[in-house]
Amino acid sequence: MMLHDIGFSNNEVEYYMRLLLEDRNTEAQRLEMLNKKRSTALDEIHFKEMQLERLDYLRYKIQASGRNNGGR
């Protein structure tokens, strides 16, 4: 369930679990999968932060315009 919670697709979960159950050493492959998912999550967070900054800027401009027009 944790893999789904962090954004793994069904196919990715299946592949990860196959690696986990293999007899040979698969830590590096599994760590690479987790690192890629982490990198993607960070990219999404940074994109959302930029969106919030732009939204806040537009809100500020509207509020400032209202104050400059006597609250109208």
pLDDT in tens, 2-60: 999 999 999 999 999 999 999 789 999 999 999 999 999 999 999 999 999 999 999 99
Token pair listed for 19: 């690696």
d(CA 65, CA 31): 51
Show the domain range for 16.
Answer: 2-68
Query: For residues 13 and 1, what is the distance between their CA atoms, to the nearest angstrom?
Result: 9
Q: Whole-prediction pTM value?
A: 0.73
Tokens of 42: 């960070």
Report the number of distinct structural domains present in the chain.
Answer: 1
